[in-house]
């Protein structure tokens, strides 16, 4: 099959196996170029197949030689249809890890379910005994509560009043204004149910009850905080309320599992192009302008640089510097006042006509294509490739 990108709105509905392998390889090469990292050696990554979770898995495995167990929710390929990018990324990760005799197993299933938690625990018991790092990196639009079977859908809406802002329509390539209607109380509650801390707590509870959490285990969940430009649609919006619930959960985990010296952190990361962030209104515009500023300033970073920095400098440090709610902050280069005021200056001026000059949409779009294995110079996209790729 010759595979070319099929973009629908903010998503690409297919993926290229060879390109995804190249994307994984580039992240591995980055980590290896940095030398050896001090990091726990038995690592569970929940949400391991794309974005920040994949970068976490790669950093632990190829930076520290860690054994990794991953959980993801991806679609497998058929003769007629490609798999999702996360499927191909996982196959590539397994291929490279196995080449270096690094233990890796991946469960493709619904991380919110009790069955998936049980499957992971059984695997830890049989293969690893225990885990000493749990990375929680899920981004999902819905969650089925395992007890009640109710399905909750998250919403991306402002809280309080409706909000009018600029955005960039990636399919029509125009900058225009949108008005986002305010969330109802149910929207807020449902978003917290999906993207808040409850499932993270359920994972830690299940792992602890099964006796597979190592003493001194670390766990982290990821958040985005942002600043003035994104606050009305992120920090102060439904998703921000869910992220506040992660802070509550981290404090609760630290209290509840102090007997095994568990340390739980919410880690705040910078905005990057991932499948999750490209679905958020305003983000493609904000990220394009931010990329331009940070590239011009020589401080641009992607997922792998962020996670490598987090693992290297913060997550395993004895007394890392934390913010007022005990969060680790990898996002301070993006959120500092000097960078933000440069982005704001561009934001105030940006129109469809000057967008390509003021922003780095080219860079944004290339990163977007690369999420699905497209846009790599090393890959011949005219070649016939077999979409059916598996991992073991």
* Catalytic positions, written as ranges: 234
Which of 31, 43, 72, 194 contacts ligand NAD by CB under 6 A?
72
229 binding ligand NAD? (CB under 6 A): no
Residue least distant from ligand NAD (Cβ)? 51
Kindly write out the interface string for residues 251-290 of this chain, putting x where it contacts ligand NAD by CB under 6 A and - elsewhere. ------------------x-xx-xxxx-------------
Which of 93, 168, 224, 376 contacts ligand NAD by CB under 6 A?
224
Measured distance CA(49)–CA(55) in Å, rounded: 9
DSSP string, 62-111: IIH--EEEEEE--PPP-SSS---HHHHHHHHHHHHHHHTT--EEEEES-T
Q: CB within 8 A of 343, min separation 6: which ones? A: 229, 286, 289, 290, 293
Residue 194: exposure state from Cβ atoms within 10 A (0-12, 13-18, ≥19): buried
Q: Which stretch binds ligand NAD (CB under 6 A): 19-27, 70-78, 146-154, 383-391?
A: 70-78
Residues 213, 192 contacting (CB under 8 angstroms)? no
Residues 374, 2 contacting (CB under 8 angstroms)? no
Decide whether 138 or 192 has the Cβ nearer to ligand NAD: 138
Interface with ligand NAD (CB under 6 A), residue total 29
Decide whether 262 or 304 has the Cβ nearer to ligand NAD: 304
CA–CA distances in Å: residue 345 to residues 259, 289, 359, 363: 50, 10, 11, 20
12 binding ligand NAD? (CB under 6 A): no
Kindly state the smallest distance separating residue 306's Cβ from ligand NAD, in Å.
Answer: 8
Segment 162 to 201, residues that bind ligand NAD, using CB under 6 A? none
Residues 301, 331 contacting (CB under 8 angstroms)? no
Decide whether 134 or 258 has the Cβ nearer to ligand NAD: 134
Could you tell me whether strands 67-72 and 42-46 are parallel, antiparallel, or unpaired per DSSP bridges? parallel
Segment 100 to 119, residues that bind ligand NAD, using CB under 6 A? 110-112
Decide whether 53 or 63 has the Cβ nearer to ligand NAD: 53
Residues 105, 123 contacting (CB under 8 angstroms)? yes
235 binding ligand NAD? (CB under 6 A): no
Neighbours of 198 (CB within 10 A): 19
Kindly state the smallest distance separating residue 215's Cβ from ligand NAD, in Å.
Answer: 27
Q: Could you tell me the two tokens for 5?
A: 């990108």
Kindly state the smallest distance separating residue 195's Cβ from ligand NAD, in Å.
Answer: 7
DSSP string, 127-142: IIS-EEEEEE----SE
Segment 20 to 59, residues that bind ligand NAD, using CB under 6 A? 47-53
138 binding ligand NAD? (CB under 6 A): yes
Site residues (vs ligand NAD, CB under 6 A) = 47-53, 71-74, 86, 110-112, 137-140, 222-224, 269, 271-272, 274-277
């Amino acid at each position: 099959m010759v595979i070319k990108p099929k973009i629908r709105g903010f998503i690409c509905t297919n993926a290229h196996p060879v390109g995804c392998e190249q994307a994984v390889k580039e992240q591995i090469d980055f980590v290896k170029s940095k030398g050896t990292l001090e990091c726990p050696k038995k690592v569970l990554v929940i949400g391991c197949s794309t974005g920040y979770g994949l970068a976490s898995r790669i950093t632990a495995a190829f930076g520290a030689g860690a054994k990794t167990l991953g959980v993801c929710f991806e679609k497998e390929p058929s003769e007629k249809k490609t798999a999702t990018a996360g499927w191909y990324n996982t196959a590539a990760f397994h291929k490279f890890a196995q080449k270096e005799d690094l233990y890796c197993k991946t469960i493709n299933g619904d991380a919110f379910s009790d069955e998936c938690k049980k499957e992971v625990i059984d695997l830890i018991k049989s293969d690893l005994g225990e885990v000493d790092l749990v990375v929680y990196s899920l981004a999902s639009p819905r969650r089925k509560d395992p007890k009640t079977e109710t399905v909750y859908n998250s919403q991306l809406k402002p809280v309080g009043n409706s909000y009018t802002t600029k955005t960039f329509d990636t399919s029509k390539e125009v900058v225009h204004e949108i008005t986002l209607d305010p969330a109802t109380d149910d929207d807020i509650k449902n978003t917290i149910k999906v993207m808040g801390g409850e499932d993270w707590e359920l994972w830690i509870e299940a792992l602890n009850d099964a006796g597979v959490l190592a003493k001194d285990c670390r766990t982290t969940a990821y958040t985005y905080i942002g600043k003035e430009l994104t606050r009305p649609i992120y920090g102060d919006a439904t998703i921000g309320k869910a992220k506040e619930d992660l802070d509550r959960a981290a404090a609760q985990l630290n209290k509840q599992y102090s007997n095994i010296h568990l340390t739980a952190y919410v880690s705040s990361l910078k905005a990057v192009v991932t499948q999750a962030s490209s679905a958020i209104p305003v983000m493609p515009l904000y990220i394009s302008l931010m990329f331009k500023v940070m590239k011009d300033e020589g401080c641009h970073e992607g997922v792998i640089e962020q996670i490598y920095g987090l693992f290297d400098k913060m997550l395993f440090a004895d007394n890392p510097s934390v913010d007022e709610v005990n969060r680790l902050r990898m996002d301070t280069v993006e959120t500092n006042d000097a960078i933000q005021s440069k982005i704001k200056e561009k934001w105030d001026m940006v129109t469809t006509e000057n967008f390509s000059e003021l922003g780095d949409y080219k860079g944004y779009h290339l990163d977007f294509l690369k999420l699905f294995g497209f846009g790599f110079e090393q890959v011949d996209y005219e070649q016939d490739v077999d979409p059916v790729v598996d991992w073991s």
